[in-house]
Amino acid sequence: IQWLDQKLAQGCSILYVAFCSQAEVSVEQLQQIAMGSIVVKQWVDKRQILKRQCVEGFLRHCGWNSALESICYRVLILAWPMIAEQALNARMVVEEFKVGRRVESTCNGMKPGFLKWERLMKMAKELMEGVMGKQVRKRVKEVAELAKMAMADSNGSF
């Protein structure tokens, strides 16, 4: 958390990367993703990270809870589905809600493909700083506000 606060003071934008415990990510893939980053191997409170102002993007497998948390904290989603319903969730996040972008990796159709660091940085930069990112940022704020209103005491989520 202190590192994030230092990055905020320096004016940096952070892409937070986290995988579910069921995700199978190779050592080689983790090494690619970790280039130029810090790696924390123990459990962290993702809500404490997502609410930091410098965290502008979240590379995630697109489990539904993570998607909702990202939206509520107004953090853009770089969706990288790996198992089960995550591909459907990613589609909802990207195509329906329009609050993120899908990871483009080499893929055999069923398993997530290998993602090189350079490609990840290009996608993250486009999402967090590019023209598309500005549109997505505006949209995630709108959707977060709609979610907040839906969950207010006088309303319901129905």
59 has a pLDDT exceeding 70: yes
Are residues 19 and 41 in contact, defined by beta-carbon separation less than 8 angstroms?
no
Lowest mean pLDDT among 103-107, 108-112, 137-141: 108-112
The secondary structure of residue 93, as a DSSP letter, is: I
pLDDT tens for residues 14-33?
999 887 666 677 788 778 77
Average pLDDT over residues 3-11: 91
Average pLDDT over residues 107-123: 72
Which pLDDT value is given to residue 105?
Answer: 65
- The structural domains of the chain, with segments of one domain joined by +, span 2-150
Lowest mean pLDDT among 6-10, 26-30, 64-68: 26-30
Residue 53 is encoded by which pair of tokens?
Answer: 């102002």
% the chain with pLDDT above 90: 42
> What CATH class is the domain 2-150?
alpha beta
Tokens 């309303």 correspond to 155
Q: Which of 26-40, 69-83, 115-129 has the highest mean pLDDT?
A: 69-83
Q: Extract long-range pairs of 112-118: CB within 8 Å, 24+ residues apart.
A: 112/80, 112/81, 112/82, 114/26, 114/28, 114/29, 114/32, 115/29, 115/32, 115/33, 115/80, 116/32, 117/32, 117/33, 117/35, 117/36
% the chain with pLDDT above 70: 87
pLDDT tier, 75 (very low <50, low <70, confident <90, very high otherwise): very high
CA distance 35 to 132: 25
